[in-house]
Amino acid sequence: MEIISHWIYDYLIEAGATEVWAKYINVLILATALVLVLFLIDFIIRKIIVNTFGRFTSNSKTKFDDFLVRNKTPRNIAHIIPILIAYETVPYIFRDFPKLENILFKGIEVFGIVLFLWIVRSLLNTLKDFFKTLPNLKDKPIDSYIQVFMIFSWAIGILFAFSIITGMELWKFLTALGTASAVIILVFRDTILGFVASIQVSINDMVRIGDWITFEKYGADGDVIEINLSTVKVQNFDKTITTIPTYALISDSFRNWRGMTNAQGRRIKRALLIKQESVHFLEKSELEGLKSIGLLLPYLSSKEKDITDYNQENEIDKSTLINGRNLTNIGVFRKYVDLYLNNHSGINKEMMIMARQLAPTSQGLPIEIYAFSSDKRWENYEYIMADIFDHLIAAIPYFNLEGFELPSSSNFKKD
């Protein structure tokens, strides 16, 4: 290399050229030759590595190597050898220009750091694509994990690059950087918040890809389709996309429906409003009429006997209905609702089933249905709930009850 680096220079000196021109022409020719050789070597090595990987992936059963090729990992690795050759050759070519040699050395070292980061990025993207194909990891925020590693890699790479360019030792550079931390925090506030939030979301398993979440503050109501360092993308049920800052998941309240999705049923919790004026004790004739309802016959027969025995044993005066024990139309209706739910094919019998009376309101007396549909799919869930309430609303008059609703304009029209 010593001989090659100066053979043009020696030839020019022998030909009568000045020493200065001989140096410039020598370095120009050698630098041009080096660039051409590096491009040629890079091209040949890249072709060899890429073709080798291509043949290997075509015969391999795993998809990991396919993702390596797709993310250009072999192509990036091929650049390593030309950089090493340039690093070893530059001192001989530019020996007569020490300042330029120093600049080129630093440039090669910085480019080596950048190349290393490219290789790391392609490997991380390969891992991301591969992990997303694994069933156990499909609902995990892989993008966030990869972005966290990538940020660490770029941060370390940038620190080393600045250290090389400035000639300052790394620990001294970090000390100087600490004085500018306030400005850095201000500039990269969202990134830092997103980074911290992404780690907390992942560790606490707050949100997974595929979860149905409701975030009223941002108008989000749908499935999570992407989680990354700065944002969470939600595809709403109207097919629009809502973007939520990742740190909002830990700073604000939102609803995750994963528990309902993983449960054995989907909750039905809705009330019927009964007009309180229609509530009364049941007369004998009304009781006999209600026995024609198949679901109620066993209950009414047993209950009527218990009440009659109790009143006779205690010599209750039944000339007034309020005396002693009695059945009310709303109590029997509540029992009918309970029996109806327990016999409905769309209700999960293994979970809570209840028809309860809530506190009276100015709009009437609420009879709330609390149960779980066996089918959790939204369309089927709505159908089951509507079917139940269609029946119960139509059943109210059979118990001489009235549903409550506010009067409309037609109620005030004169006959």
| Number of Cβ atoms within 10 Å of the Cβ of 408 | 8
Measured between alpha carbons, how far is 328 from 315 in angstroms, rounded to an integer? 21
Q: What's the pLDDT at 76?
A: 83
Sorted by sequence, the CB contacts under 8 Å of residue 48 that are 6+ apart come out as 78
Half-sphere exposure of residue 394: CA atoms within 13 angstroms, side-chain side = 6
Q: Which of 333, 304, 302, 335 is nearest to 400 (CA)?
A: 333
Q: What's the pLDDT at 113?
A: 87
Q: Which of 176, 179, 173, 180 is nearest to 156 (CA)?
A: 173
pLDDT digits (tens, 9 = 90+) for 302-323: 998 999 899 889 888 888 888 9
CB of 222 within 8 A of CB of 237?
yes
Name residue 16's amino acid: G
Sorted by sequence, the CB contacts under 8 Å of residue 254 that are 6+ apart come out as 213, 214, 215, 216, 217, 220, 248
Half-sphere exposure of residue 402: CA atoms within 13 angstroms, side-chain side = 10
Name residue 17's amino acid: A
Return the ∠ at Cα 408 (arms to 331 and 276), rounded to 5°: 20
Q: What's the pLDDT at 101?
A: 76
CB of 300 within 8 A of CB of 290?
yes
CB of 146 within 8 A of CB of 125?
yes
**Lookup: tokens for 125:** 């993207």
Q: What's the pLDDT at 128?
A: 82
Chain length of the chain? 415
Calculate the alpha carbon distances from 110 to 160, 271, 366 in Å. 8, 69, 73
Helix H, strand E, coil C: the string for the chain is: CHHHHHHHHHHHHHCCCCHHHHHHHHHHHHHHHHHHHHHHHHHHHHHHHHHHHHHHHHHCCCCHHHHHHHCCHHHHHCCHHHHHHHHHHHHHHCCCCHHHHHHHHHHHHHHHHHHHHHHHHHHHHHHHHHHCCCHHHCCCCHHHHHHHHHHHHHHHHHHHHHHHHHCCCHHHHHHHHHHCHHHHHHHCHHHHHHHHHHHHHHHHCCCCCCCEEEEHHHCEEEEEEEECCCEEEEEECCCCEEEEECCHHHHCCCEECHHHHHCCCEEEEEEEEECHHHCCECCHHHHHHHCCCCCCHHHHHHHHHHHHHHHHHCCCCCCCCCCCCCCEHHHHHHHHHHHHHHCCCCECCCCCCEEEECCCECCEEEEEEEEEECCCCHHHHHHHHHHHHHHHHHHHHHHCCCECCCCCHHHHCCC
**Lookup: tokens for 141:** 């925020």
Name residue 187's amino acid: V
CB of 286 within 8 A of CB of 271?
no
Parts of the chain with a pLDDT under 70: 1-20, 26, 138-141, 144, 169-191, 203, 409-415
Model-wide pTM > 0.95: no
**Chain-centroid distance, C-alpha 103:** 47
